[in-house]
Structure 1
Amino acid sequence: MNSPLPDVACSEVSQALLPLDWVGMQGIDIPLILDEPGIDAPVHARADLQVNLPAPQIKGIHMSRLYTLLDRFAEHHAVSPASLSALLELMVASHADCHSTRAKLRLSFDLLCKRPALVTAGLSGWKSYPVIIDAHWQQGHVVLDVCAEVTYSSTCPCSAALSRQLLEQAFSARFATGVVDSAEVAAWLRQHGSLATPHSQRSVATVHVRVDEEAERMGLLGLIDGVEAALGTPVQTAVKRADEQAFARLNGQHLMYVEDAARTIQQSLLLHFPVSSVSVRHLESLHPHDAVASVVNGPALRFRTAGEGRWA
């Protein structure tokens, strides 16, 4: 019972003497505190963390060291650019005997936010935003990328124009001759104003931005709020009739093709993020297929389109 436990990672040499780009663990469940205003409760995250193994003669890394570092990080620190950079640096330092020089970390979680109704005072509901944080440390610097998914409503401009034309034709047929009475017109519109309605659909924007390593916070809520404000039609949670009417008005005021949505979001991101990408997907109600558009600004940004699925 007192004999030392074998450690083949130290006592054996791999038969194939080759360096490895990345070695580590994937899908670790961990509670995380976010340094975000208004987000007080921990989020359930899944973490992937790895270091490089450049020395071909070393059989394997120390998985338990990485796990312990992640666990201590989650217990004592909130997620921020500075804390992530420190964690990655410790990951590399913990593998000095493996000659590791690089480390990377991915955190995936749903950011749950309470959102007020558009009109009704005191009414609110919860909305979830899938988020990924990618951090890569090398030679004393960290590269931080944030990816967030935002759901919104999109109403087709072409469909709206076609609907207006049908309404115009019906109106002209009814009131083509004689004096038009405003009360009679109003009554007619209440009954026939929705003679034809434009098609709209739930839509998804995937935004990916590079965060300055000197930033105080990751700015997750600010990023999401900015995208929703630019689009003008974020999906709602709890609603009453007044809120539903306000939502209908917003959709009428923000008609958009998939191209419009991608351009609008990217234009809003350029004000704050020199490196960014946008991918949008409109889950068409007219067609059995989706409409998609994407744009990338700046080099060296890993890009995932909305059509590739949710954080595969």
Structure 2
Amino acid sequence: MKSETSSTSPNQLNASAPKLSKVYDRDFVLTDEYRAALPDMQNADSQHIFGANVPILKVGISNFRLPLRYITSSSDTLTLETSVTGTVSLEANQKGINMSRIMRVFYTFQDRIFTPDLLNEILLQYKEEIHAHRAQLKLSFEYPIMKPSLRSGLEGWQYYRAAFEGRVDELNRFRKYIHFDFVYSSACPCSSELSEHARSSRDVYSIPHSQRSTARVSVEVADGEHLSIERLQELCLEALQTETQVMVKREDEQAFAEMNGAYTKFIEDAARLLHEQLDAEPKIADFQVACAHLESLHSHDAVAVINKGVPGGFTGHFEDFKSLIR
């Protein structure tokens, strides 16, 4: 007995379907009715969720860039290219978020002068617009500070990797952070003593080893306080002394060699010296420091992490030491 199902072939079906236009219509006029009819899958109900219907800790966008204005310690303003990461929490039964809304909210603030405190306003608007319980925002940029040479009187711009970060929780409690990279020279105390031993005991010319090193300082700024990038740089310089130089003549190079001799340091010393300075700054509620020394003696790097030890604060967790190597 023959089947009564249709014998129409797929090719015949395709032939009968309307042919889609492949021409961009530059004359198309968007109407409110057309916009309202556009599908919105981000706001689809839970039946459209793929995988486990569970909350997502963070979802959003990363590395969208734009020029933003920052204020210096002398009340001048700087316009710096900034990489923005904005995320919110997503609860169970929610399909997704409107990613472009994060950017649109942020752009409404683009003409403001950016400080860690301003992030609170943006995050609260994120929560309202996207209906999230928690929100987080991070602005990463290169911050210039004019630095003098040690002896020659020259000056040059030193650029510091820095970031402002803000977080708002379910109760709208705001916490603000600054992340700051300080690049310095670390002369090994052991190598220095061994070199001097070779000179004094055997009249052998020796050079102790030193290397370019980086400390990533992350601080939580105390509520109601303002902490400048310049102040963080001063704290790091006071702790470690041997910041790498920008403009150098022979007299500056000699001075730098003398400074390395006066401030030799193991990586353990660097971490503890920074702890001492940061712990004494009343505007800093909590901090964590990760150091990496690009060893010129070894084929590996020396690393260290230290924190203030505030309950509920920085945990000391840090694994991305490669990001500290310049």
Smaller-chain TM-score bracket: 0.7 to 0.9
Closer/same/farther in 2, CA of residues 164 and 310 from structure 1, 3 Å limit: closer
Task: Give a deviation string over 1:9-40, Cα, whole Å, max 9, x none.
Answer: 34554235433322211111121212222563
Q: Is the 8 A contact 2:144 2:160 kept in 1?
A: yes
Per the TM alignment, residue 117 of structure 1 is displaced from its structure 2 partner at its CA by 0.8
The residue that corresponds to 1:220 in the other structure is: 229
The residue that corresponds to 2:64 in the other structure is: 28
The residue that corresponds to 1:242 in the other structure is: 251
The residue that corresponds to 2:142 in the other structure is: 110
Partner of 1:197, secondary structure, is coil
The residue that corresponds to 1:294 in the other structure is: 305
Q: CA RMSD in A?
A: 2.2
Instruction: Identify the structure with bigger relative contact order (alpha carbons < 8 Å, sequence gap 6+).
Output: 1
Matches of 1:23 and 1:199, distance apart in 2:
45
Matches of 2:99 and 2:267, distance apart in 1:
44
1:282 aligns with 2:300: no
The residue that corresponds to 1:203 in the other structure is: 213
1:148 aligns with 2:180: yes
What does 1:154-193 align with in structure 2 at a 5 Å threshold? 154-170=186-202
Partner of 1:85, secondary structure, is helix
Q: Is the 8 A contact 2:70 2:115 kept in 1?
A: yes
Per the TM alignment, residue 155 of structure 1 is displaced from its structure 2 partner at its CA by 0.9
Per the TM alignment, residue 308 of structure 1 is displaced from its structure 2 partner at its CA by 4.2
1:129 aligns with 2:150: no
Unaligned runs of at least 5 residues, structure 2:
1-28
What does 1:8-23 align with in structure 2 at a 5 Å threshold? 8-10=41-43, 13=46, 14-16=48-50, 17-23=53-59
Per the TM alignment, residue 88 of structure 1 is displaced from its structure 2 partner at its CA by 0.6
Per the TM alignment, residue 145 of structure 1 is displaced from its structure 2 partner at its CA by 2.1
Task: Give a deviation string over 1:91-115, Cα, whole Å, max 9, x none.
Answer: 111124xxx2211111122212221
Partner of 1:198, secondary structure, is coil
The residue that corresponds to 1:175 in the other structure is: none
TM-score by length of 2: 0.79
1:84 aligns with 2:119: yes
The residue that corresponds to 1:93 in the other structure is: 128
Q: Is the 8 A contact 1:279 1:306 kept in 2?
A: no
Q: 2:110 aligns with which of 63, 71, 74?
A: 74
Q: Is the 8 A contact 2:116 2:165 kept in 1?
A: no
Residue identity opposite 1:132 in structure 2 = A
What is the aligned-residue identity percentage? 31
Per the TM alignment, residue 238 of structure 1 is displaced from its structure 2 partner at its CA by 0.6
Partner of 2:179, secondary structure, is strand
Matches of 1:166 and 1:282, distance apart in 2:
25
Aligned length: 282
Task: Give a deviation string over 1:132-182, Cα, whole Å, max 9, x none.
Answer: 3221112122112222111101111111111112222256xxxxxxxxxxx
Matches of 1:127 and 1:220, distance apart in 2:
12
Partner of 2:296, secondary structure, is coil
Q: 1:46 aligns with which of 77, 80, 83?
A: 83
Per the TM alignment, residue 198 of structure 1 is displaced from its structure 2 partner at its CA by 1.2
Partner of 1:41, secondary structure, is strand
Unaligned runs of at least 5 residues, structure 1:
172-193
Task: Give a deviation string over 1:245-277, Cα, whole Å, max 9, x none.
Answer: 111111111011111111111111111234211
The residue that corresponds to 2:8 in the other structure is: none
